[in-house]
Amino acid sequence: MKSLFETETQQLILKRIENLNEKTQANWGKMDVAQMLTHCQKPLEVANGTLHLNTKIGFAKKLMFKLFKSAMYNDKPWQKNLGTVREFRITDPQEFASQKNKLIQVINDFSQLKEKTNWPTHPLFGDFTTEQWGKMQYKHLDHHLTQFGA
């Protein structure tokens, strides 16, 4: 699995983002391209420590999420139309250019953290290693860029 901490992988993701434009259509899902760009910022902001989620889940759900934790960063692609947490759902109109620029900045900020060891605890899945954070962030971006044919 590729990692967003690999310079070549980071550059490939940024190039794919640059290939998007306001008229890029999704191959599946409900978000338009500007909403997707905003959505993709959220998990990176959680990892960067700039977004704190107050997601409360019970013991049974916490156990279920732990069972699926490795799916966040393994080599198997995510299914289309997976659900997302409420805080990551973007339904309001978004401005394409500003959200594209912000996503690029958030990716660049995250990619500088490859030596970080004190990551925030993910509100649903618990703790991740640096390697797992890098793979998970790549996998999320790859999933949505594929959704928009980039």
What confidence score (pLDDT) does residue 121 get?
Answer: 86
Assigned token pair, 111: 């990619």
- What pTM was estimated for this model as a whole? 0.92
Contact 20, 150 (CB under 8 A): yes
In DSSP terms, which residues pair with 126 in a beta bridge? 122
What confidence score (pLDDT) does residue 73 get?
Answer: 87
C-alpha–C-alpha distance, residues 8 and 13, integer Å: 9
Ordered per-residue pLDDT tens for the chain, 150 residues: 999 999 999 999 999 999 999 999 999 999 999 999 999 999 999 999 898 877 667 777 777 777 788 888 888 988 888 777 778 889 999 999 999 999 999 999 999 999 999 999 887 888 999 999 999 999 999 999 999 999
Burial class of residue 126, CB neighbours in 10 A (0-12, 13-18, 19+): exposed
